[in-house]
Amino acid sequence: MSAAPDKRPLVLVTGASGFIGHALVKRLSADGRYRVRAAARRALPDLDPKVEQVRVGDLGANTSWDAALAGVDVVVHAAARVHVMRERSVRALQLFRTVNVDGTLHMGRSAAAAGVRRLVFVSSIKVNGDSTAPGRPFRPDDTPSPCDPYGISKREAEEGLRGLAGEAGMQVVIVRAPLVYGPGVKANFASLMRLVRTGIPLPLGSIHNQRTLVALDNLVDLLVTCIGHEAAANETFLAGDPEDLSTTELMLRLGQALGRPARLIPIPQQWVELAACSVGQREIAHRLCRSLQVDTRKAATLLGWHPPLPVDVALRMTASQFLASSGQ
Give catalytic residues, as residue numbers.
150
What DSSP letter does each residue of 140-181 carry, written as one string?
Answer: TTSPP---SHHHHHHHHHHHHHHHHHHHH--EEEEEEE--EE
Buried b (16+ CB within 10 A) or exposed e, 280-311: ebebbbbbbbbbbbbbbebbeeebebebebeb
Q: Cα(227)–Cα(75) distance, rounded to whole angstroms? A: 8
Count the Cβ atoms, other than its own, within 10 Å of residue 17.
16
Count the Cβ atoms, other than its own, within 10 Å of residue 188.
14
Query: Which amino acid, 109?
Result: R
Q: Cα(48)–Cα(296) distance, rounded to whole angstroms? A: 32
Q: Check if the beta carbon of residue 241 is closer than 8 Å to that of residue 295.
A: no
**Beta bridge partner(s), residue 11:** 36, 74
Query: Which amino acid, 24?
Result: L
Q: Cα(182)–Cα(184) distance, rounded to whole angstroms? A: 6
DSSP β-ladder status, 118-124 and 52-55: unpaired
Buried b (16+ CB within 10 A) or exposed e, 251-268: bbbbbebbebebebeeee
Q: Check if the beta carbon of residue 15 is closer than 8 Å to that of residue 180.
A: no
